Amino acid sequence: MKDLLGGLDVIEDPDVLASLSRDDAEWAPAGKAVAAVRPRSTAEVSRIVAACAERGVPIVPRGAGTGLSGGANAVDGGLILDLSKMNRVVEIDAENMVAVVQPGVVNDDLKRAVAEHGLWYPPDPASAPWSTIGGNVSTNAGGLCCLKYGVTRDYVLGLEAVVGGPAGDYGTVVRLGRRTTKGVSGYDLAGLFTGAEGTFGVITEVTLRLRPARREAPRTVVGAFDSVVAAGAAVAAVTRAGLLPAALELLDRTCLRAVEEWKHLGIAADAAALLLAQLDTPGRAGDEEAAAVAEVFRDAGAQWAEQSTDEFEAEALFSARRLAYPALERLGPVLTEDVCVPRSRVPLMLTSIEEIAARHGTTIATIAHAGDGNLHPLILAPIGDDAARAAAQAAFEEMLSAAISLGGTVTGEHGVGLLKRGGMRQELAPAVLAMQEAVKRTLDPLNLFNPGKVVGLP
């Protein structure tokens, strides 16, 4: 590939290629790439795409590799397009509350940069310290605050992308969307690219909406429950009460113990499950809201529910939530679910998860963005245990069916990638699948961009 892409940062070392050839999705297959390249500008991406189109070499865009569905996994004979070096915050327009960034900017780095201007970028996946904006946009990532503040798509005003298909020759640079708060000129193509997992083109710049920084430190309410299902019932009760926390997270005992054994945060893991509510309404109204959430927790059967008055304790609890996946991953392979159901049906989905675990003899730890119905059951399997692996995969597929039967979806924020293609085909009607495939063929007739992902065109 060096002869094709002379002068660019081309990587052919087998060990480095192997490290770039898959994301964090356990057991998602990965192909063998011929090379990787690290562009530093849109012009370089355009050149790479044009060269690959001429030779019929498929392209797999990649950010930090923190994905959990195999969406960034290499394909045989393809090129890995590592966008991590395109990591510049191009502009922060404080007056209009807009940021323009390259795709390799890390989520938390953007938060820190805009905070210096009294602004806030709300989307906050648990991987925010490592994941990049390009990856967040490509999977329409959510996170802890999306219950109140929305997901990545709600903050993408516009983007720049290198495309092919009807836009012209492969390598064409287009700008989609806008910079204004409103705008309905034509179809929402920026929205179409958001969540497309790199299957329509390569995103090279993103224009993001910002919000004013929060005026006060959020209040944290903690509730302890004697079962995960009881905690789920409390989530439904919060919704019925008309309360809207900024975040409402669930952790079960297995997750809490794994984090505590690893990081020693001083968190007691006696309850079967904890609910963590974060509330950011300022002033006395915020105090009343926190008291109301605690009361709902108690009325729903919490062993105890209190507002945390210790800022360090509150931060430790939410750190535990963010660290749950890597803490469990230290213990062995983890197959991560990402189902989402209507909030009123969270208790039913949690019951189904417990029944599925018992039926397959698997250990399933549960964390959840419980307030918006997005559950992340984590299926554990010892290394080298083929029977446990088969049971985990069977449980994984059964949970997809359970979520669909409850009116839910097979992926709330991780994306379809490779692991959820079958589930997506179970969830969506044939006519809808045909529409999605038609869009892919129109925008990428050569099937050059991340082939085999999402709709799964070969």
Asked if 411 contacts 69 with a C-beta cutoff of 8 angstroms, the reply is yes
- Where helices occur in 160-282 by DSSP H, the ranges are 189-193, 228-240, 253-263
Asked if 254 contacts 305 with a C-beta cutoff of 8 angstroms, the reply is no
pLDDT given for residue 6 in this prediction: 83
pLDDT given for residue 270 in this prediction: 82
* Residue 23 backbone zone (phi > 0: left; psi -120 to 50: alpha; other: beta): beta
pLDDT given for residue 215 in this prediction: 85
pLDDT given for residue 265 in this prediction: 78
d(CA 321, CA 216): 22
d(CA 376, CA 326): 13
pLDDT given for residue 116 in this prediction: 98
pLDDT given for residue 217 in this prediction: 86
Q: What is the pTM of this model?
A: 0.94
Asked if 252 contacts 365 with a C-beta cutoff of 8 angstroms, the reply is yes
pLDDT given for residue 438 in this prediction: 96
Mean pLDDT of successive 10-residue stretches along the chain, which has 458 residues? 83 96 93 97 97 96 96 97 98 98 98 98 94 98 93 98 90 97 94 98 98 91 95 95 95 91 80 93 93 97 88 82 89 92 95 97 95 95 90 96 98 96 96 97 97 88
Q: Tokens representing 422?
A: 């079958």
d(CA 382, CA 386): 9
Structural domains of the chain, with CATH? 10-82 (3.30.43.10), 89-212 (3.30.465.10), 215-327 (3.30.70.2190), 332-420 (3.30.70.2740)
Query: Which element (helix H / strand E) includes 59?
Result: strand 59-62
Beta strands in 242-393 (DSSP E): 247-252, 273-279, 304-308, 334-336, 339-340, 363-369, 374-380
- Name, in order, each residue with C-beta under 8 angstroms of 19's C-beta and a sequence gap of 6 or more: none
Query: Which element (helix H / strand E) includes 431?
Result: helix 430-443
What letter does residue 132 receive in the DSSP assignment?
B
